[in-house]
Structure 1
Amino acid sequence: MITNENKIKIFLVDDDALFLKSLEIEFLENVNFTIETYSTGELCVENLSNNPDVIILDYQLDGIIENAMDGLKTLDEIKAFNPKIPVVMLSSQDKIEVAINCMHHKAFDYVVKSETAFVRLQKIITTIFKYQKIEKELSWYMDRM
């Protein structure tokens, strides 16, 4: 039986309410996830003490509030709070410069919003947890040397 402690907590942050809801529904179909959704970067940052395992963050974030914190500023705030939280950036912009810029701000990965975005996000989340498991095992091993 899977308890809440065993579930992966994901923050979904997007100002596009329809996209946010569809992403939430897709993730909730997987019993291994608990989801918190936020429509602004500010709300995401205010709730970082809820300890998300992964954050999926929209690049733009300017659709609801004028002068709202954009995705990169939100990413910087997340990394200042806890640099170990993996953040996957989402954008409708299929531009390499945008992806590179996100990586410079320490995003784990960059996904273009499309029909295949959810499948890509699932694969990335799996990769994140495999990587973290290897890191823990390596750390354990190094401590014993």
Structure 2
Amino acid sequence: MSGKIMVVDDTTFIRNILKDIFRSGGYEVVAEASDGAEAVHLYRQLKPDLVTLDLTLPGVDGLQAMKEIKAFDPKAKIVICSAVSQQQMVIEAIEAGAKDFIVKPVMRERLIEVVETLLA
């Protein structure tokens, strides 16, 4: 299984954990971003196969970044990866086009399972 993945989270520690999980699963992490504006910019440049996106980001938040990415590429595969589990935000994210929602702390097996399904 292969695929190009972009990891978006404002915490370096979390980005590193996600990158390790993806690399151990045979995926290529082509970019990482720490805020929504950077995520949108990098997505436009690199068009990764999948994006993991935190909702709570400085500046442009995850929901807004996702809407901008989806406006640029309606087929974008975005998985929300967030500690925020308020039902309303989850619903908004899914309505805005998120393919799945993973609550932190991230379980390796669940993350790989979701990514494999979306990139199959």
- Partner of residue 111, structure 2: 121
Q: Rg bigger for which structure?
A: 1
RMSD over aligned CA atoms reads 1.5
Q: Residue 91 of structure 1: which of 71, 79, 82 is its match?
A: 82
- 1:115 Cα shift? 4.6
TM-score normalised by L of structure 1: 0.75
- 1:124 Cα shift? 1.0
1:9 pairs with 2:4: yes
- Partner of residue 34, structure 1: 28
Specify whether residues 29 and 81 from structure 1 end up closer, same or farther in structure 2 by C-alpha distance, changes over 3 A only: same
Q: Percent identity?
A: 30
- Partner of residue 47, structure 1: 42
The one-letter amino acid paired with 1:50 is: L
SS of 1:12's equivalent? strand
- Partner of residue 56, structure 1: 52
- 1:93 Cα shift? 1.9
TM-score normalised by L of structure 2: 0.90
User: How far, CA to CA, are the matches of 1:90 and 1:40 in structure 2?
Assistant: 14
The answer to whether the Cα contact below 8 Å between 2:3 and 2:119 also exists between their aligned partners in 1 is: no
- 1:94 Cα shift? 2.3
Give the gaps of 5 or more residues in structure 2.
none
Aligned length: 118
User: How far, CA to CA, are the matches of 1:112 and 1:21 in structure 2?
Assistant: 17
Moved over 3 A (4+): none
- Partner of residue 82, structure 1: 73
- 1:82 Cα shift? 0.3
- Partner of residue 138, structure 1: none
Q: Which has the higher contact order (CA 8 A, sep 6+)?
A: 2
